[in-house]
Amino acid sequence: MEKKILLEENEIPKYWYNILADMPSPIDPPLGPDGKPIAADALTPIFPMEIIKQEMSAQAEIPIPEEVRSYYAYWRPTPLIRATGMERALKTPAKIYFKNESVSPAGSHKPNTSVPQAYYNKLEGIKRLSTETGAGQWGSALAFACKLMNLECTVYMVKVSFQQKPYRASMIRTWGATIWPSPSNQTSVGREFLKKDPDNSGSLGIAISEAAEDAATHEDTHYSLGSVLNHVLLHQTVIGLEAKKQFEKIGEYPDVIIAPCGGGSNLGGISFPFYRDKFAGKNVRIVAVEPKSCPTLTRGEFRYDFGDSAGFTPLMKMFTLGHNYAPPSIHAGGLRYHGDSPIISYLVKNGLMEAISVDQLETFEAALLFAGTEGIIPAPESAHAIRGAIIEALNAKQEGKEKTILFNMSGHGNFDMSAYDDYLAGKLHNYEVTDEEIRQSLSSISSI
């Protein structure tokens, strides 16, 4: 038996899979300040036309440009790995596979979309991209892509992460990007927040507001987002398209697919291609795993809300905890987002996707088991999927059932070692949000 299921370079997918083409019913469109669906034109100041088209496309297969495929070849196809060591440790009859997205230069799945985004912007003559980043995985992925294509890059990094993870910032600078701790004095929205509270430690919502303002106020600059939006999840489908081919190669098919969920990009990326079969009647479960401290899908409300704190973005129909929700500062920074991808939200709302939430301590316990049996130290975000896989594997053991589990190892933890230090020193805690906190946070947006 092979440990790794590999594909050849010419098996890098030639198209992305657009799930919107096959949805059982249309998803609700994003709305502008006037309450009407956003027109494509309204997005041209911040996105290139090709991206806007993808955001709204109804075509199932969208060709991947050859130049993008040639950049994907720097690290793709990524291996599908049988977690034999973890199976043995769990004494489970289940087969556990993971897609190893940590092999990219930036160490996560994020370059799957930063590369095409930089590419389309470059084609349109854009000189600079601005973006926000929380834990830094997205910021480093965009810096990497911009460097490859000779674009400038400005990253607004949530201040608390900037201070806690200085080496992510170093990585971003090493690839030539400019980085500002957010809130910064570079934008009017940043200055506004600093005026109210000079010690504001930032949030993803504020950083998005800053990056969007930067793009909207500079002719040669566009904005780039690392999750939530349709085109981002579209680009990430290379993960699932490869995984399907890899399962075909060994004559297997997953019974359940598990991924961490913050904005939804790695989850959408690995699962959407399998929905083609699921919509056609195939029995495959998809499970989103989120932190108990930011339980958007499991305890949020399905409604229109802003994507950022300042209310600059269009309103999106999604599960949300309220755009001013401030999650406890767990180490899985990439999962601390008040909202969620509208597509993911729709699938959960319509019973086509399951969602569970897990505690911080049990995710680190899972991470240590994985590191000790499979060798790879996972990002705290990815540890949520590992926890989910363990739950499924132990259920299979209890039921005495064989089962094929696939999870997304979305990134490595090389830049999260302080989190491991804290865990090993017994300094980490679980956080449970009260119903009252969620109610209050949601009530603050009731006027929209």
Site track for a copy of itself across 361-400, x = CB under 8 A: -------x--xxxxxxx-----------------------
Determine the interface stretch with a copy of itself among 162-170, 196-204, 257-265, 433-441 (rule: CB under 8 A): 162-170
Is residue 185 at the binding interface for a copy of itself, with CB under 8 A as the rule? no
Is residue 247 at the binding interface for a copy of itself, with CB under 8 A as the rule? no
Nearer to a copy of itself, 70 or 443 (CB): 70
Q: Which residues contact 421 (CB under 8 A, 6 or more apart)?
A: none
Is residue 220 at the binding interface for a copy of itself, with CB under 8 A as the rule? no
Is residue 89 at the binding interface for a copy of itself, with CB under 8 A as the rule? no
Nearer to a copy of itself, 141 or 212 (CB): 141
Nearer to a copy of itself, 26 or 251 (CB): 251
CA nearest neighbour of 317 among 348, 358, 277, 295: 348
Contact 175, 208 (CB under 8 A): no
Token reading at 77: 């196809």
Nearer to a copy of itself, 174 or 185 (CB): 174
Token reading at 300: 């949020």
Three-state SS annotation for 320-348: ECCCCCCCCCCCCHHHCCCCCCHHHHHHH
Spell out where 283-429 has E strands: 285-291, 301-306, 315-320, 354-358, 404-409
Is residue 304 at the binding interface for a copy of itself, with CB under 8 A as the rule? no
Cα 217 to Cα 213: distance, rounded to the nearest angstrom:
6
Count Cα neighbours of 253 within 13 Å in the Cβ-side half-sphere. 9
| Alpha helices by DSSP H, 217-304 | 230-236, 238-249, 265-279, 296-299
Cα 369 to Cα 348: distance, rounded to the nearest angstrom:
29
Nearer to a copy of itself, 6 or 448 (CB): 6
Phi, psi for 216 (deg, rounded to 5): -65, -25
Is residue 250 at the binding interface for a copy of itself, with CB under 8 A as the rule? no
Nearer to a copy of itself, 33 or 166 (CB): 166
Determine the interface stretch with a copy of itself among 144-152, 266-274, 339-347, 432-440 (rule: CB under 8 A): 144-152
Point out which residues bind a copy of itself (CB under 8 A). 2-4, 6, 8-10, 70, 73-75, 85, 103, 105-107, 144, 147-148, 166-167, 170-171, 173-176, 368, 371-377, 414-415, 417-418, 420-421, 424
